Amino acid sequence: MDSNLPDFTTIVRRVFQASLELAAIKGADRSRALQAMAQALKRYQNDILEANTLDLEASREMAIPELVLDWLKLTPERIQTTLQILQRLSELPDPLGRMLNATYQLAHSHAYCQPMPLGVIALVYEAFPDLAVIAAGLCLKTGNCLILKGGSEASQSNAVIAQVLQSAIREVGLPEGCLELLPSDQGGSIRDLVTQDRYVNLIIPYGRPSLIQQVIRQATAPVLRSAMGNCYLYWSPSGSLETARWMIIDSHQSEPDPVNAIEKVLIHKEHNRSSLTMLWNSLKEKGFQLRVDLFLQEEFPDLRLAEEGDWNTAYLDRIVAFKTIESLASAISWINRYSSGHADCLVTESYQESRQFAQGINSASTYINASPRFSRNSRHGDAIFLGMSNQRGHRRGMIGTDALTTVKYIVQGGD
């Protein structure tokens, strides 16, 4: 280790101190930083792509799984997407500039709420080098400082991206330490970071379930866990074959991480064999692998049998497992037990079924005759998202600017 590099504790304390200063900086100045970051990324795009090529070559030699290689690979298009997100964030109203009515009032006083930054946010992630840019944009927009802890497979990409973002932040005069990268070969481990509850206010893990669970087990600071895959679809007897087909295929289209991809389909037993055959042939043509329960395999012996553990496990691939079910109530019960709980779906023509499903499913979001396809940079509204959370704690659902702020109650007395 280079003796000139600051140690782990020094870095974390520096970010904490910067968060106190950043909280007082105007929204216009934070937006200027986002614009400067976008311009710097564009200027140094070739350097970032070169570093990413080295990471990909090294990862292939280490036999990193193909899934992680897909997450790791940067392209000009992926970088352009991050630039667009930074630009959009810079143009949005300051999330800290609103005044909200308090839920209670005191006599002879006026109470209101002021949105506030959380302080220091840590992103623990594997691959996804461009995710650091999006996280940095969301954090600066909300007045938070960011610590990045990436995986070794993306070490060179992460280093170049962090340097580019840091130079842009310095250009506009934001506090030193607004953004810090803990290199994978230097500084503390994941455990060292996630137990820094004195300085770190929120940890967001992003990657495979094993990483998420590691952070949850070890953390003493609050965790906003992300979720990916193992979303369910219930295909009601009244539901359209074409709608079911479209929802499954479209949910897998977001790249490089199909967060809300439908991986499990519950089929009512009344669906006929010809409809199933048409759906499966269509999915096979699109490159999907299919798995079925024992009942369906008896009718379709050429299809692979789903294992017992498949039903609560994310494939994170173009694989869909099918299971027969007897009723909507049974489907709701099964989904609540086995789904990852962040996005579950229904195909139906019945309003009564749609209401029963929406009220009965205990997930962060439900989609009825609509694709759950995830987008970080939605074309509709002002929302920009880092990912999806399936927890029932701090926040649930889309991880956007609202998830990275808290509120302060202010009571002002008067005559």
3-state secondary structure of 330: helix
Please give the average per-residue pLDDT across 284-304, as a whole number: 95
- Which of the listed CATH numbers 3.40.309.10, 3.40.50.11260, 1.25.40.10, 3.40.50.2300 matches domain 231-368? 3.40.309.10
Q: State the DSSP string of 18-76.
A: HHHHHTTS-HHHHHHHHHHHHHHHHHTHHHHHHHHHHHHHHHHHTT--HHHHHHH---H
| Predicted pLDDT of residue 415 | 56
Kindly report, as residue ranges, where domains of CATH 3.40.309.10 are found in the chain: 231-368
pLDDT score of 240 more than 90: yes
- Which of the listed CATH numbers 3.90.1150.50, 3.40.605.10, 3.30.700.30, 3.40.190.10 matches domain 8-226+386-404? 3.40.605.10
Do residues 321 and 291 lie in contact, with contact meaning Cβ atoms separated by under 8 Å?
Answer: yes
Question: What is the rounded radius of gyration, in angstroms, for the C-alpha atoms of the chain?
Answer: 23
Instruction: List pLDDT tens digits, range 36-79.
Output: 999 999 999 999 999 999 999 999 999 999 999 999 999 999 99
**Closest to 231 measured CA to CA, from 142, 330, 315, 327:** 315
Instruction: List pLDDT tens digits, range 376-409.
Output: 886 666 678 999 999 877 678 899 999 999 988 8
Please give the average per-residue pLDDT across 112-137, as a whole number: 95
Kindly report, as residue ranges, where domains of CATH 3.40.605.10 are found in the chain: 8-226+386-404
**Closest to 210 measured CA to CA, from 201, 218, 202:** 218
pLDDT score of 296 more than 50: yes
Tell me what the pLDDT averaged over the chain comes to: 92
Please give the average per-residue pLDDT across 353-365, as a whole number: 96
Amino acid at 154: A
Whether this prediction's pTM lies above 0.85 is answered by yes
Phi, psi of 117 (to 5 degrees): -65, 155
**Closest to 171 measured CA to CA, from 347, 25, 18, 35:** 35
Instruction: List pLDDT tens digits, range 307-344.
Output: 999 999 999 999 999 999 999 999 999 999 999 999 99
Instruction: List pLDDT tens digits, range 160-216.
Output: 999 999 999 999 999 989 999 997 765 568 999 999 999 999 999 999 999 999 999
| Predicted pLDDT of residue 319 | 96
